[in-house]
């Protein structure tokens, strides 16, 4: 398992959007993402803070059905 990167929320959202997630709403400091093509995929909630902490990002990566390595590759694209 790779090391979970510490990234700002906009980069995290951009990475998830590369596999089909899109922003559906924002309430307060949380941005809600839903998968556009596959409604069976779990929705994600990303906090709009300075950074997304590793524990929360790990949970979102797992909910999206990705490995840390796959997520890191999405960040590089």
- Domain membership flag for residue 1: no
In a domain, 15, yes or no: yes
Element (H, E) at 47: strand 44-47
CATH number for the domain including 55? 3.30.920.30
Confirm whether 3 is domain-assigned. no
Please indicate, yes or no, if residue 2 is contained in any of the structural domains: no
DSSP state, 50? S
Query: What is the number of domains present in the chain?
Result: 1
In a domain, 51, yes or no: yes
Please indicate, yes or no, if residue 69 is contained in any of the structural domains: yes
Q: Specify burial of residue 33 (Cβ count, 10 A radius: 0-12, 13-18, 19+).
A: buried
37-53 pLDDT per residue, tens: 988 889 999 999 999 99
17-36 pLDDT, tens digit each:
999 999 999 989 999 999 98
**31 within domain boundaries:** yes
9: tokens are 């929320």
Range of the domain at 72: 9-76
- The DSSP code sequence of 16-38 is HHTTTEEEEEEETTEEEEEESS-
């Amino acid at each position: 398992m790779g090391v979970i990167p510490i990234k700002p929320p906009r980069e995290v959202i951009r990475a998830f959007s590369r596999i089909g997630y899109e922003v559906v709403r924002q309430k307060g400091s949380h941005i809600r993402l839903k998968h556009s093509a596959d409604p069976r995929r779990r929705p994600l909630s990303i906090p709009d803070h300075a950074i997304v902490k590793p524990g929360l990002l790990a949970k979102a990566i797992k909910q999206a059905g990705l490995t840390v390595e796959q997520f890191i590759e999405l960040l590089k694209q």
